[in-house]
Amino acid sequence: MHRPEEKPATTVRRRRHLRATAVTIALGVVMFTVGAIGLSPNGSGMPDTATSAAPSPGPARSIEALRERVKRLPKDPAGWAELGMALIQQARTTADQATYAQAETALRRSLALLPAENLHAEIGMGALAAARHQFHDALTWARKAVATSPATPAAYGVLADAHTQLGQYEEAEEAVQKMADLRPDSSSLARASYIFELRGDTAQATRLMQRALRAAGTPGERAFALTHLSSLALDSGDPAIALRQAQAGLGIAPRDAGLLEARAKARTATDDREQAVADYTAAIAAAPLPQYLLGLGELQQSLGHRDQAEAQYAVLRAQETLRRAAGTPADVDAILFEADHGDPRRAVTTGETAVRERPFLAVHDAYAWALHRAGRDDEALAQAEQALALGTRSALFLYHRGAIHQALGHNDAAREDLKQALAIDPSFHPLHAPAARAALRRIDDTQ
């Protein structure tokens, strides 16, 4: 039966009736919640969806023009805030921590010139804190921005993203609802899509993301939507559509690291693994982020290319050394990498700190896996349940919980989780998907 499209405000309200519905979430690519916020300082509220794109001559010229502007008008707080936001965008695409520091300098200069009710700088500081995974700080700045301008959608975008990463899902949904009420644009539609994705309605999440694509006003915004449509298709068991969406996005933004990763995953699912290696390699060249390094390393390992895998793991270890020295919060990929390819006990320590500071479902999952790898399966199961508390049907989360159940001797529960993981995506992970099939065979052999 044809279901008419709903207004975004209505679709978010309908979420309250969907708590028991299963969800397929694009866990490899968390849309807004790892700092990929990129809000325009004009208050449009659009996720700056060159967020995942590699630098291009256009943005570079823009930053240069903004630098010239603040030289000419050094006492203009809006100019400094705009420069700060542009630098945040560039830092996300290049993974350059020094650029984040430059962004902070620009934003604080804006705040020094206009300490109170400086909306653009407040939104910028919230986006910067989220990009650095300092989500409590992001929440504080978002609340300041909302207080400064309760009718500005961008402020609610930062607010929603901070609440999500802090595990405050009801509050996040309320912020998305307000954002949608104020302006049903590509940004609010995409965030509404994510609400449904988290809660269980992948079909509606896809419909909303398609509407976000149609509402997109720039090539970057369209590339962003296509990245997540590719991920939704893959997690819905349709790698062919996932590949087409990623290809379409790369036609718009050929060096977009997120789209290259999406195509790599789709190609892995269609057993085109050598081309997937090429895509991951290109993504790393654009932005050497941990998720791409880990993805390539584990893909190479699955192909028996141990030396090539170790080369990626060596870079990850160097990045982790720098992260610890700087006191930067650990990301999910760092915890999973340490658990699988390093010291599980260190992964437990890192995960414990991370989940305390950022109790998002993906962090609970990574901490659960670290505990399991360290042999602490009773504690691991409690964390795995937290990861799946929203009804999430992530293949990776379910595999993790299934392996934990198996270690505890809960064979029936393990079989259910492992079968469900493989039903969602038979190639959900180059190493863990084969392990899930092997675990199922062992369980069946003991019955």
Q: What is the pLDDT of residues 238-297, one digit of tens each?
A: 999 999 999 999 999 999 999 999 999 999 999 999 999 999 999 999 999 999 999 999
Average pLDDT in the 60-74 region? 89
- pLDDT band of 50, cuts 50, 70, 90: very low
Q: Give residues with Cβ within 8 angstroms of 409, minimum separation 6.
A: none
Identify the top-confidence range among 5-19, 34-48, 418-432. 418-432
Cβ 437 vs Cβ 422: under 8 Å: yes
Q: How many angstroms separate the CA atoms of 178 and 70, rounded?
A: 34
Average pLDDT in the 86-100 region? 86
Q: Which tokens sit at 271?
A: 């057993």
pLDDT > 70? residue 7: no
Q: Give residues with Cβ within 8 angstroms of 30, minimum separation 6.
A: 36, 362
Q: How many angstroms separate the CA atoms of 354 and 341, rounded?
A: 19
Q: Find where tokens 């700080």 sit.
A: 137
Q: How many angstroms separate the CA atoms of 353 and 445, rounded?
A: 39
Structural fold of domain 355-447 = 1.25.40
Encode pLDDT of 17-37 as tens digits. Answer: 322 222 222 222 223 333 232
Same fold, 9-193 and 355-447: yes
- pLDDT band of 328, cuts 50, 70, 90: confident
For the chain, give every domain's residue range.
9-193, 355-447
- CA angle 221-225-231, nearest 5°? 150
In angstroms and rounded to an integer, the radius of gyration of the C-alpha atoms of the chain is: 21
Rounded to whole angstroms, what are the CA distances from 274 to 253, 263, 293, 302, 429?
22, 12, 16, 11, 15
Rounded to whole angstroms, what are the CA distances from 66 to 56, 89, 189?
16, 13, 30
Q: Find where tokens 């300041």 sit.
A: 144
Query: Which of 264, 272, 201, 212 shows the shortest CA–CA distance to 49?
Result: 212
Q: Does domain 9-193 have CATH number 3.40.50.620?
A: no
- State the average pLDDT for the chain: 86
Beta strands, E only, 358-407: none
- pLDDT band of 202, cuts 50, 70, 90: confident
Encode pLDDT of 209-235 as tens digits. Answer: 999 999 999 898 999 999 999 999 988
The predicted structure's pLDDT at residue 61: 52
pLDDT > 80? residue 157: yes
Q: Find where tokens 């407040």 sit.
A: 122
- Minimum mean pLDDT among 49-63, 110-124, 264-278: which range? 49-63
Q: What's the gap between Cα 277 and its chain centre? A: 21
Beta strands, E only, 155-284: none
